[in-house]
Structure 1
């Protein structure tokens, strides 16, 4: 068994982002139960330490981190569609990389358009294959060269 620990400041969830998530859940529930009201715990003020894990084909460990989200205007918003939101919240994609023995290699900030889901990126040595989306929302598989660094 391998145990890896790394100290990191918690990533805050702004009041506006918490409100957005509460509104989205409430609107979704009210589509099936019109009198539904939020009765669960509040949306947390910080995000979980990590978003996901991926094992590289070379044995490296890739930890997808939560990052601070920013509001993005939905240019395709349709006010007549109750599922359409005028604004969404997007978080930049970032990973911490570790050697198979747990040695920290550094941080990887993915370029714009890099999608970490729904298809999981494939990490292998100096490259990662991932789905990328351009400004026209066209998706394609792209091979990126990995440059790890920073912190």
Structure 2
């Protein structure tokens, strides 16, 4: 849901995306992107399914929202003006990036350990983990106003499709095996790329890189 505020920060509208509504009952056992589990004390919890395709959104400096969803086999991005009017649609087609057996086993091990700490020993339905990675990870804009779309690569890291503000494709920036921190978007100014990444021990640190063209 997108909440719209006026200049005094008074909410004037709520925009619901496809699949959302203003009411309805929530059934935690029927969450499409999460594992449901019950704890010994009578409570319950939800844990995100690894590699489950979701969406991403970003509001640029002009107040327009770029919202991305999965397409088959690529992604679809819409640009929405304040109030919800669609001003641009971009659709891509890309070959899917498979989830490797090692990545799947590692994700399952992390979930099992987390559940074990909560006293849960029941196995989840691991078949719900997708065989391919989401085609779209995140969206942000550079200082110049270009739209950067994070996509998975075959090295286990993240690449970026770069679009101009009118949706034209400018190129793809390859980041190799950099494990960019997913909850903090990089900062791009000119040919400088700044990002928080995790090393092999999951220790975060800041990387400053220069973007160079490839012949």
Matched, 1:63 2:149: yes
Shift of 1:9: 0.3
Structure number with the bigger relative contact order (C-alpha 8 A, sep ≥ 6) is 1
2:181 and 2:198 in contact (8 A); partners too: no
RMSD: 3.0
Give 1:44 shift: 0.5
Tell me the distance in 1 between the aligned counterparts of 2:105 and 2:165.
40
Equivalent pairs, count: 128
Larger Rg: 2
| Paired residues for 1:1-150 under 5 Å | 1-39=87-125, 41-68=127-154, 91-110=156-175, 115-131=180-196, 139-140=205-206, 142=208, 144-148=209-213
Higher strand fraction: Structure 1 or Structure 2?
Answer: 2
CA distance in 1, matches of 2:212, 2:115: 43
Give the Cα–Cα distance (whole angstroms) in 1 for the partners of residues 158 and 125 of structure 2. Answer: 32
Contact 2:115 2:121 in 1 (8 A): no
Distance in 2 (CA, whole Å) between partners of 1:113 and 1:119 is 14
The CA distance in 1 between the partners of 2:200 and 2:126, in whole Å, is 37
Structure 1 residue 100, shift from structure 2 partner: 0.9
In structure 1, the residue corresponding to 2:106 is in which secondary structure? Answer: helix
| Alignment partner, residue 58 of structure 2 | none
Unaligned runs of 5+ residues in structure 1 are 70-90
- Matches of 2:115 and 2:199, distance apart in 1: 32
TM-score (norm 2): 0.50
Confirm or deny: 8 A CA contact 2:157 2:179 kept in the other structure.
no
Runs of 5+ unmatched residues, structure 2: 1-86
1:104-149 Cα shifts (integer Å, max 9, x gaps): 111111266573445321122332222367899683452x332355
1:19-66 CA deviation, whole Å, 9 max, x = no partner? 221222122111112422214652110111111111112110001101
- Contact kept? 2:160, 2:172, Cα under 8 Å: yes
Change (3 A) 1:114 1:123: farther
